[in-house]
Amino acid sequence: MNDNQLLRYSRQIMLPQCDIEGQLKLLAAKVLIIGAGGLGSPAAMYLAAAGVGHISIADHDIVDLSNLQRQIAHCNDDIGVNKAISTAQTLNDLNPDIAVHVIKQKLAGDELDTEVRKADVVLDCSDNFTTRFAVNSACVKYHKPLVSGAAIRFEGQVSVFTPGSNDSPCYNCLYTNDGEELQNCATNGVMAPITGIVGSVQALEAIKLIIATGEPLIGRLLLLDGLSMEWNTMKFRKNANCPTCSSK
């Protein structure tokens, strides 16, 4: 690291759980973020600020006015711009030392496999059932850690999956793929700070995985009720009959 980097990351470096070694791991890490909306915006910004050296951001959607209430990586001038491109501009302004890879098409099939295979950690910041199960399957296939988040109304949740290690369950162990679409913010609404809280927790969990510290949310679903401001944790186990990970 050069002198500017030592100063930029000094408040993390002074933490014994991070130190110089941990910061070097962050600088070398490759993180894939699926979705540049309410969750992906704060997650990407905090990962960039923390010095994650290689961030790939995937989103095929464009910014519209209704996004600006919660998707803080975008501003008025970005309306009509692809969200991945807009987010990359924000991240580069925030930390020009990092490399940001823009994926402005919907990731699926071989392209999703390719991007997941290259990543050290994957963050699922999407808002639909189909994407969540596809990302989970790819992470199970390539044994890639997955940090999954969701937010709706005044509620949020986060969990971590590490397929192939720690006897970790996968997303499909927690939720069954019965073809029913999850509720989303467009149809049910969401309070802006909830997405910021969940996205920030996702960023923290990714950092913990990268620098190998603390206890990631493996086998635990962290639940937030923003109206009562109560946090709860639900424990769950690997499903021996899971159609995605039971034979992996």
Active site residues: 185
Sign, Cα dihedral of 208, 219, 34, 119: positive
Among residues 188, 161, 189, the alpha carbon closest in space to that of 175 is found at 161
CA distance linking residue 247 with residue 95, whole number of Å:
42
CA pair distance 222, 140, nearest whole angstrom: 21
CB of 57 within 8 A of CB of 36? yes
- Residues 222-229: contacts with CB under 8 Å, at least 24 apart: 222/157, 222/158, 222/159, 223/155, 223/156, 223/157, 224/155, 224/156, 224/157, 224/194, 224/197, 224/198, 225/154, 225/155, 226/154, 226/155, 226/156, 226/191, 226/193, 226/194, 226/197, 227/154
Number of H helices and E strands in the chain, helices first, is: 10, 8
Report which of 65, 52, 57 is spatially closest to residue 36, judged by C-alpha positions.
57
Q: Which two tokens stand for residue 65?
A: 């006015």
Q: Please work out, in degrees rounded to the nearest 5, the angle formed at the alpha carbon of residue 224 by the alpha carbons of 223 and 230.
A: 115
